[in-house]
Amino acid sequence: MGRKVTQREIARIAGVSQATVSLVLNDRDFSNVRIPEATRERVRRAIEQTAYVADPAARRLAGLDNKIIGVFTYEPALSHESMDFYGPLLNGLEQGAERLGCDLLFFTSSPVVDGKRRMFDKRTRLRLADGCILLGQEMDGDELRKLVDEGVPFVAVGRRDEPDVPYVGIDYRTLVAELVDSVAELGHRGAAYVHLGRTSPSSVDRLAGIEQARSRSAMPVTLIDVSQQPLPAVAETIAASGLTAVVAQDSFVAEALAHELGERGVSVPREISLAVAGEVEGHAVAGHRLSGCHLPRIEIAGEALAVLQQLIGGAEPPSDVDTRVLLSGSVVPGETLVRPEAVR
């Protein structure tokens, strides 16, 4: 039957003690612990006979690694809607886990409060894993601090402001500055940045990038916060402003905005150029591939796993330099960012 096989059981079969089984399993061989090949073989045969697998809980309790990486997401990660954002990250995690020989444990059991999963709870299972990858556009600062305090090895995907939080993210500041530079270089005399407020570090970093570009080029950039006024009003403002270029925080904002502009007789990119300060892969406006950025999401996940391995394996905690990493994105031309018409 499917009863669970323990080392004790193996020991009984092989006619040795439980300790011996453990020693054989872990290939231990000290000066005071010696087991001849004959006995080892006997134990190994018993193990194969019974398809023994060590109980991960017991291993953990005894202080060992389990080769299990936890994955915590604040929203369902495997739903169709989430795939745009989570898809490449999960893909990278799977590849990385395969490389490291780890299994991935998705904490789908976390209780949902106010539409978001809570990490901490009476029955938190965080510790079943050796370490944990955190995914999600918005994370709870208190929970992050608690993780740090409790010494749980973890890495957040996306830059974080909280102290001592290991992360791997995108260098949005540099990337967005580069994007805005390219808008200016095309000859646009002014642009608007349509964003969603300062809800996350990545939003803040993008704004910093805008600022950086503004400080070194003559092109003025108007900031428009969509969380302050409805998108139709924003479209109205832009249509009336005579601006020739708009940068949107992400592709969804860009698509919605292009639609609103279209309804007001302003077409992209003919009358107005549109660039996205985020991933544009797979996004288009009226058949034109969006101009914007490419974020190496698969690589980010891989790098996050690498950092996590350091945290888990390392005897002493690595420095901040090693555990707070920003990767570079790249600007992709696309078809919605073009030279402004001579007259507008």
Query: What is the rounded distance in angstroms from the CA atom of residue 143 to the CA atom of residue 149?
Result: 10
101 binds a copy of itself (CB under 8 A): yes
Site residues for DNA, 56-75, by CB under 7 A, read 58-59, 61-64
Stretch touching DNA by CB under 7 A, among 5-13, 158-166, 257-265, 305-313: 5-13
Cis peptide upstream of residue 269 (ω within 30 degrees of 0): yes
Instruction: State which residue, 110 or 200, has the beta carbon closest to a copy of itself.
Output: 110
Max CA separation in the chain (angstroms): 92
Q: State the binding partner of 112 from DNA, a copy of itself, none, CB within 5 to 8 A by kind.
A: a copy of itself
Strand order in the sheet with 245-248: 221-225, 191-195, 245-248, 273-279, 291-294, 330-332
Q: State the binding partner of 148 from a copy of itself, DNA, none, CB within 5 to 8 A by kind.
A: a copy of itself
Query: What is the rounded distance in angstroms from the CA atom of residue 197 to the CA atom of residue 194?
Result: 9
The CA-to-CA distance between both ends of the chain, in Å, stands at: 79
Write each residue from 272 to 311 as x if it is in contact with a copy of itself (CB under 8 A), else as -, in one continuous string. Answer: ----------------------------------------
The nearest distance, CB 117 to DNA, in angstroms, is 22
The nearest distance, CB 85 to a copy of itself, in angstroms, is 13
229 binds a copy of itself (CB under 8 A): no
Instruction: State which residue, 102 or 224, has the beta carbon closest to a copy of itself.
Output: 102
Query: What is the rounded distance in angstroms from the CA atom of residue 76 to the CA atom of residue 79?
Result: 6
Q: Where are the alpha helices (DSSP H) in the chain?
A: 7-14, 18-25, 37-50, 56-61, 83-100, 141-150, 172-185, 201-216, 231-241, 251-263, 297-313, 320-323
7 binds DNA (CB under 7 A): yes
Stretch touching a copy of itself by CB under 8 A, among 81-89, 200-208, 224-232, 321-329: 81-89
Among 38, 53, 315, 342, binds a copy of itself (CB under 8 A): 53
To 5 degrees, how large is the angle CA 22–CA 103–CA 323?
Answer: 100
**Binding-site ranges for DNA (CB under 7 A):** 4, 6-8, 15-20, 22-23, 25-26, 28, 30, 32-36, 39, 52, 54-55, 58-59, 61-64
